Structure 1
Amino acid sequence: MARRPLPRILSSGSAQLARSREIARTAADSATDVLHPLITITRGLRQLAATAARKWAATPKDRRGPALFLIVGCGLVVVLIPYGPLVALISVMAAAAWKGRVRTPVRTGPDEAETGRLQALYEALVPYFSVAEDPAPLFAHGGEWSKAFSGYEFDGNGRLTRLSVKYPAYFTDGESESRARIEKLLHAKSGRGREYLFSWDEEGNQLVMSVLPALPTSIAAQRFVTVPGETVLGFTDADAVQRTVPVTEGEETRDAPPVVWRTGPRSTEPHLLVVGEPGSGATTLLRSIALQALQHGDVLIIEGSGTGEYACLTGRTGVLALECGLAGALAALEWAAHETERRLIAANRARQAGHPVPEDTKRPLWILLDRPSILGHLAAADGDTDPQQLLQVPLRHGRAAHVTVVVAEQFDSLDALTEAVRTHTRARVVLGPATLEQVESVLGVEPHTTPTTEVPSGRGYARLGTGSVLRLQVPATPDPYDETTSEAHRQAVLDLLPERLERVEAAAPDPVPAEG
C-alpha cells in the first residue's frame, strides 16, 4: 500500500480544518443574526451607505448637481405627505434588514482545486529556486508551498490573478536570462491569453506576478486637454503615469492616464518611430498625431503604401502636401530640408542682431512618413535618391527649428531604415502582436509584461527616450471614408478635421485664333 508524503497529509488536514472553521463561523453568524436583529439591521445600513457612496463617486461631476436636487426634492415630498417619515423609516429598516440578513463568508484559505494549482506551481519552480548545497531549501520536491507563496488571489474561474513568491537569496535575479525563465514558466502555468506584470524586488528577494486588466478600446479621437508641444499617443495603466486627462466615452466623461509625448526645442525625444505589422494600428496612430498637430502647426504627409489612408486630410487647412508617389515625395522632402535650414539661419541671424526670432520659424512643422521602405525600393529601381536621405537635416536639426519627424514602418522592413532614422528617433512605439525579442529590438529593453498573441488594433508598447516601457492603447482614429468604420468613430474624426482650403482657380486665357 502506497504511503502519502507527510507534507501532503499536513496540507490536506490544514485545508479541512480551515473549512471546518469557516462552517462553524457561518453557523455562529447565523445564530447571532437570529438572537440580535439589531446587528443585522446595522450591518445592512452600513452596506447600503457604502453602496450609495460608490454610486455617488461614480456619478459624473456635471450630473451631481441635478442628482442632488432630485434627492432633496424627493425628501421634501416624503416629509410633507401624511405619515411620510414613518413610512420612509420603516422602508429603510426593512431594506437594511434584507441587505444584512446574510453575512458573506470570509475565506480563510484556498479550496482544494486552488491548493492543487499552488502545489503544482511550487513543484515547477523547484528546479529554478533550489541547489543541492542548500541545507534548508525553501523550494524542495514535496515541500510546503505556503512558505514560498506569501500571497495569492484567484478569479471566478479558479485561475491565478496575483501571486507573491519569496525566492532564495542566491538566485541570480540580476540576470535578465534568469528572470525571463521564471516569467516564462509562471506565464505558462498560470494560463495563457492574459497579460502579466512581473515586479522583481531584488533587495527583499520577492517576486510579485499580477494579471493586468485590458486597456479600454472605446476612447475615440477627440480634443485632448494638452498644451502646445504635447501630443497624446494613447492611454496606459493608471499607476504607470502621474497625470490624467478628461476623455469622453460615448455620453460619459472620465479621467484617463495618457502617454504624452513632448516635442519642441526642449524635448529630449523630438522624433518618433512607430513599428507594427499590417493592421496593428500604425496608420491610425499617425492619423491621430496629424489631427492633434494641425491644431497649432503644419503637416507634411508622405504615404509610401499609396492606399489612400490619409485622403480625408487632402486640401485641409494646415496640410502642406499629401504625397503618395516617389517624385512628389522627393520634392516635398527636399523642400522640408531647405525649410529646416532656412529656419535655422533666420533664427541665428535674429539672435545675433538682438531681434526676436521670426514667428514663421516657430510654427511647428510635422513630417509624417508612412512606409518609407516602399519608396526606397522604388528609388533604387529607378536610380533616384532614397527619400530617407533627405530626412537627415530635419532629423539632426529639427528640434531647434520646430520640425518633428514621425516614421512608421513594419517589422520586416526595419533593415531598410537609415542610420539617421534609427539614431534620432528616440521616442519609440511598437503596435500589434510581437514577441519579446521584437519589442526589445525596437524599444531597447524588454517590457515588464508578457505580450499576448491576439491584441486589438492600436494596442502595444511605448517608450520615450530612456524611460520605462508603458502599455499603450491608441485612441480610435479610423479613416472616415472606410465603410466598415462605426458611425460614432467616423463622426469623431470628421469633427476634428480642419476646414478645407478655398482654391482660387486662375481664369484660362482665351484661345488664340488660328491663322487661316
Structure 2
Amino acid sequence: MRPLPAALRRAGEPGQTARRGRDLARAGADGVRDVLHPLVTVGRGLVRLTTAGRAWWERTPAERRSPVLGLGGLALAAAYLLPYGPAVAVGAVLLAAAWQGRKPPPEPDCTGPGEEELARLQALYEALVPCFALPEDPAPEPLYAPDGSWERAFEEFAFTPESRIERLLLRYPPWFRDGEPEERHRVERLLRAKAGRGREYRFVWEEERNRLELSVPEPLPADLCAQRFVVAPGETVLGFTDTGAVRRTLPVADGAETRDVPPVVWRTGPRSTEPHLLALGNPGSGITTLLRSVVLQALPHGDVLVTDGGGAGEFASLAGRHGVLAVESSLTGALSALEWAAHETERRLLAAQHARQTGRPLPGDVRRPLWVVVDRPAVLSHLARAEGRPDPQELLEVPLRHGRAAGVTVVVADQFEGAEGLSQAVRAYTRARVVLGAASVEQVRAVLGETPHTTPAPDPPPGRGYARLGGGPVLRMQVPATPDPYDDAAGERQRQAVQALLPEHSGQVAPVG
C-alpha cells in the first residue's frame, strides 16, 4: 500500500486536529462579532442617549418640564400623522444611536496602587486618626480608628509617577468642626506634611457631604510680561490666577504666541465697592513690580502721583512722563504731594456735587481718574515723627474717604515689618488686598481676612501671592513681570516690554502744587 502524503498524515495527528478546531472556533467568533457589531454599536448609543437624556431631565427646572413634555407630545403626534413619519423617526433615532455609540468605552485601569502607594495611604490614614477619631464614637465601625484601614475613608486618590500623592478625596465624621478655621488648618497642615513638602496644595472642604479634597494645582505663568490688556476703562489687571477661579479670560501675548489666561481684575471708579488697594509683602516679593504694573495700566486713562517712601529709585523711569504728575522720594516732597492730593480730592468732590445739583455733566478734569500711589508709607511716617512734622498718612484720609466719589484711587504698599505702622484710615478703606511672597497662613489671613484654599508656595517667584477683592474669595495670583527698565539685572525681553509701555517724556516734571 502506498504511504499517505505528509499533509494528510499531519492532519490526522491529535495536536493538529485540536489546533484546527481552535482556529475554526476563533473564526466563528470573529464572524459572529462582525455580524453583531452594528447591533452592539446601536445598543451602546441608545444607552448613552438614555443616560444623557436622563441627566438633562434632572437638570431641567420643574417649571420648564411641562412645556418640554408638551413639545415632545406635539412632535410625536406630527411624526405619527405624516406619511412615513414613524419610520423616519425610528431611523433618525437609530442613526443618532449609531453615531453616539461609534466609540467603544474606555479600557478600565486595572493596574491599581502599588505596595509603596498603599503604604503611603495607610500612613496618611493613621496620621489622620488623632484629628478625626472620637473615643466615645457610637458608630459600630468608625471611619477613623487606631486599628482601621483607609479603604472606607479614602474615596478617590491619584499618584504621580514618583508615587507622591497628587489628589485625594476623603470622608470625615459629621461631628468634626469643619466650620472652625483652626480645626481646618490643623488637618491641612498635617496633610501637607504627609503628602510631601515642596509643593502647593489646594484644599476644598465640602461641608454638606463631609468631604475634603486635596489636589496639586497647576503652576501659574511666571513668564508673562507687562502689556496692554484687553479690559474696559476702570479695570486693572493685578495678575493671573488659576483656571476656573474666575469667570473670564484675557488674550495675553506670550512671546510670538497668544493664549487665554484667567485674570484677577480690580475695578475702580464711582461704582466700585473696592476703590482702594493695599499690598503687603516681604523684601523681594514683587510689591514694587505690582505698583509699577498698576501705574503703567493707569497712565493711558488718568494721571498718576507717586510717592516712594523707600527712596531706592524704583520709579525713576516714570519721572517726567506724560500723565505722571510727580515722583517724590523725600519727606518734604511726599508731604507736599499728599497735601496737594487731599486738596485736589476736595476740589473734585465740590465740583462733582455742583455739577449734579445743576444737572450738568461732570467736568473733564473730574472725570479723568487720579491715582495716588504710595510705597512704604510707614518709613515716611517714622521720618516725620523723628523730625516733628505731620504724619503723611493723615493726609491720605481725605482721598481714601472721598476718593470714590471724586475719581481718586489710592494704592498703598508696604512690607510686613511696617504693617503695624499703617494708619487706621489705610486699614479701613483699602478693601482690595494683595499679599505677595513667602507669607505664612496666619499672615495671609490677617491681611485678607480669610484663609486661602491653597498652601503658600515654598519658594515663590517674585510677584506670586494671593489677592482678595472685598468680600470675594481668596485667589492665588501671579503679577506680570514688570521690572525697572533701567535695571540691568532684569531680563532684556521684560525690560523692553516695560519700556514700550512708558509714555513719552513731557520735557519737564509737572509741579505738584
CA root-mean-square deviation: 2.0
| Other-structure match for 1:99 | none
| Other-structure match for 2:133 | 130
For 1:266 and 1:354, the matched residues in 2 are separated by 19
Matched residue type, 2:262: P
Query: What is the CA-CA distance between 1:503 and the residue it aligns to?
Result: 4.1
1:503/1:409 Cα in 2 relative to 1: closer, same or farther (>3 Å)? closer
Matched residue type, 2:409: T
Percent of paired sites with the same residue: 63
1:433 to 430, 438, 447: 438
**Contact kept in structure 2, 1:272 and 1:425, CA below 8 Å:** yes
1:128-148, Cα deviation, whole Å (9 max, x unpaired): 212222232111223221111
Query: What is the CA-CA distance between 1:453 and the residue it aligns to?
Result: 2.9
SS in 2 for 1:145: coil
Matched residue type, 1:110: P
For 2:181 and 2:342, the matched residues in 1 are separated by 42
**Contact kept in structure 2, 1:219 and 1:249, CA below 8 Å:** yes
For 1:337 and 1:174, the matched residues in 2 are separated by 43
**Contact kept in structure 2, 1:371 and 1:409, CA below 8 Å:** yes
SS in 1 for 2:260: strand
* Residue 468, structure 1, aligned to residue 473, structure 2: yes
| Other-structure match for 2:308 | 303
| Other-structure match for 2:373 | 368
| Other-structure match for 1:196 | 201
For 1:118 and 1:362, the matched residues in 2 are separated by 60
For 2:487 and 2:313, the matched residues in 1 are separated by 10
| Other-structure match for 2:66 | none
For 2:250 and 2:417, the matched residues in 1 are separated by 35
Equivalences for residues 66-81 of structure 1 within 5 A = none
1:121 to 124, 132, 146: 124
Query: What is the CA-CA distance between 1:445 and the residue it aligns to?
Result: 1.1
| Other-structure match for 1:455 | 460
* Residue 109, structure 1, aligned to residue 77, structure 2: no
| Other-structure match for 1:157 | 162
Query: What is the CA-CA distance between 1:252 and the residue it aligns to?
Result: 0.8
1:452-472, Cα deviation, whole Å (9 max, x unpaired): 331000000000001100001
Q: Which moved more, 1:378-387 or 1:496-505?
A: 496-505
Equivalences for residues 67-466 of structure 1 within 5 A = 106-134=109-137, 135-466=140-471
1:143/1:423 Cα in 2 relative to 1: closer, same or farther (>3 Å)? same
For 1:377 and 1:457, the matched residues in 2 are separated by 27
For 1:484 and 1:324, the matched residues in 2 are separated by 23
Q: Which moved more, 1:358-367 or 1:121-130?
A: 121-130
1:378/1:504 Cα in 2 relative to 1: closer, same or farther (>3 Å)? closer
Matched residue type, 1:401: A
SS in 1 for 2:146: coil
SS in 1 for 2:333: helix
State the TM-score, normalized to the length of structure 1: 0.77
Matched residue type, 2:463: G
For 1:192 and 1:407, the matched residues in 2 are separated by 33
For 1:356 and 1:119, the matched residues in 2 are separated by 70
State the TM-score, normalized to the length of structure 2: 0.77
Matched residue type, 2:172: Y
Q: Which has the larger radius of gyration?
A: 2
For 1:379 and 1:141, the matched residues in 2 are separated by 61
**Contact kept in structure 1, 2:202 and 2:214, CA below 8 Å:** yes
**Contact kept in structure 1, 2:326 and 2:509, CA below 8 Å:** no
Q: How many residues align?
A: 409
For 2:135 and 2:378, the matched residues in 1 are separated by 54
**Contact kept in structure 1, 2:325 and 2:509, CA below 8 Å:** no
| Other-structure match for 2:13 | none
Query: What is the CA-CA distance between 1:105 and the residue it aligns to?
Result: 8.7
1:13-38, Cα deviation, whole Å (9 max, x unpaired): xxxxxxxxxxxxxxxxxxx9xx99x9
1:158/1:348 Cα in 2 relative to 1: closer, same or farther (>3 Å)? same
For 1:214 and 1:409, the matched residues in 2 are separated by 26
1:316/1:457 Cα in 2 relative to 1: closer, same or farther (>3 Å)? same
Q: Structure 1 unaligned runs (5+)?
A: 1-31, 40-102, 506-516
SS in 2 for 1:299: strand
Query: What is the CA-CA distance between 1:164 and the residue it aligns to?
Result: 0.6
Query: What is the CA-CA distance between 1:106 and the residue it aligns to?
Result: 3.0
Query: What is the CA-CA distance between 1:108 and the residue it aligns to?
Result: 3.8
For 1:313 and 1:281, the matched residues in 2 are separated by 18
1:165-186, Cα deviation, whole Å (9 max, x unpaired): 0111122212222211111111
Q: Structure 2 unaligned runs (5+)?
A: 1-25, 35-105
**Contact kept in structure 2, 1:434 and 1:453, CA below 8 Å:** no
List, as ranges, runs of 4+ consecutive aligned residues in structure 1 with deviation greater than 6 Å.
none
